Amino acid sequence: MKIYCILNDSVPYGSILEQPLCDKGFTKLTQISHCFTNTSIIAMLTGKLPSDLEKGGIGYQTENEHKPNGIIDYSWKDKLLISELNKKNWGINFHNCHWFYETICDEPFIKKTSSFLMVKEEGKYKETKEYFKTMLQDSTETSEFYKNEKKFIKQFQKSSQRDEFYLIKNMQYHLALAIKTDKLDSLKRIQTVLDYFDFDEPDSLFWIFSDHHNHPEIDELCKCPSFLTTVFVKDNRQKPLKLNSDIISISDFYDIFKNGYNTLDENRIYFVEDGRFNVDPLNSTTAVACRFLDKNRILQVSYFRPTNKYYGFVYDINMKKIQECIPRDNTLADALKGRFEWVK
């Protein structure tokens, strides 16, 4: 069995990637994620909120408090799905994921590969600055990066030694936002990489997802669509997943993978937490509780720790508009108080 988790970093809800994936037999899920890569991936691989793992949550530099020997060493690393799978003799493969080894987990059982030009110094395995050029500027037909991507993907899919888990990161869109290059072109480049895959590979599960919305647009209150993302699922196993709801939390992946199904709860409250670097680099500063009023409208209440205040909003997915509001009852605010120790 193979599990392919393919992360399209920062790709927003409703991108041009959606229709080609649906045309290839993928099921689209609406996903409530967190607001930066670490918190989203940690939630995905543990089934927990960051504040369940670290008192006060996880900020952009929290990992610096957990590097006694210069290598990341969180006390809860055994709670990661990859640790559980490793104990069951699964192969764990991470591709183009240097950030993960520096900020979340760097266990020796993780097989590291990359299509970037890599350097090793002081025990670190990271990308050089050349990857900006190779991934966004060179033609996909001549770039060494894309040649390497195609080669690696063919190798991944050819392997049949044992159960294998893959986390593969596409960061073209994230970089396009950071260095202000063509966003549409970056999405087409991601599509090029996705086209390298054989999505009909037997006994495999493909989970293609985004971790958050456009990162320059995420504010201190995490107003929607900051946490509104998508997942595309194609399950070629003999006993495929039973997806009873097309709306999930990013943390649901952990339970869905282990149990083989998800539950339907139309009244579910979804939780999000985040900490903007310019507010507090070590802790979560914002907690969000939200629920769907209908398929196209999300009601959210944000708690901002520095001001100790609550803020209400309604987001229209189709119109891509958000309006400030005063919720009619305190259900979401009370849910935040009950879920987060630091929400007052």
Residues 2-27 have pLDDT tens digits of 999 999 999 999 999 999 999 999 99
Query: Where in the chain are the domains?
Result: 2-269
CA–CA separation, 172 and 150 (whole Å): 16
pLDDT at 22: 97
Average pLDDT over residues 176-202: 96
- Phi/psi for 233 (5° steps) reads -120, 135
* Both tokens assigned to 249: 């939390």
The pTM of the full predicted model, rounded to 2 decimals, is 0.95
pLDDT at 126: 59
49-53, 141-145, 270-274, 291-295: range with lowest mean pLDDT: 141-145
- Give the max Cα distance, the chain: 58
Which residues neighbour 297 within 8 Å (Cβ) at sequence distance 6 or greater? 314, 315, 316, 317
Assigned CATH class of 2-269? alpha beta
pLDDT at 134: 80
The model's pLDDT over 56-79, given as tens digits with 9 standing for 90+, comes to 999 999 999 999 988 999 999 999
The DSSP output letter for 78 is G
124 backbone φψ class: left, alpha, beta (φ>0; ψ -120 to 50): beta
132 pLDDT band, cuts 50/70/90, is: confident
Percent of the chain with pLDDT over 90: 89
Alpha helices by DSSP H, the chain: 18-23, 37-46, 50-53, 81-87, 98-103, 131-136, 144-158, 172-179, 183-194, 252-259, 331-339
Average pLDDT over the chain, rounded to whole?
A: 94
* Both tokens assigned to 93: 């493969």
pLDDT at 131: 72
Average pLDDT over residues 222-234: 98
Average pLDDT over residues 48-54: 98
For residue 150, is pLDDT > 90?
A: yes
Average pLDDT over residues 294-304: 97
Average pLDDT over residues 189-205: 98
For residue 159, is pLDDT > 90?
A: no
The model's pLDDT over 105-130, given as tens digits with 9 standing for 90+, comes to 999 999 999 898 655 544 454 566 66
Which residues neighbour 156 within 8 Å (Cβ) at sequence distance 6 or greater? 2, 4, 93, 95, 164, 166
For residue 173, is pLDDT > 80?
A: yes
For residue 336, is pLDDT > 70?
A: yes
133 pLDDT band, cuts 50/70/90, is: confident
Percent of the chain with pLDDT over 70: 96
138-142, 152-156, 298-302: range with lowest mean pLDDT: 138-142
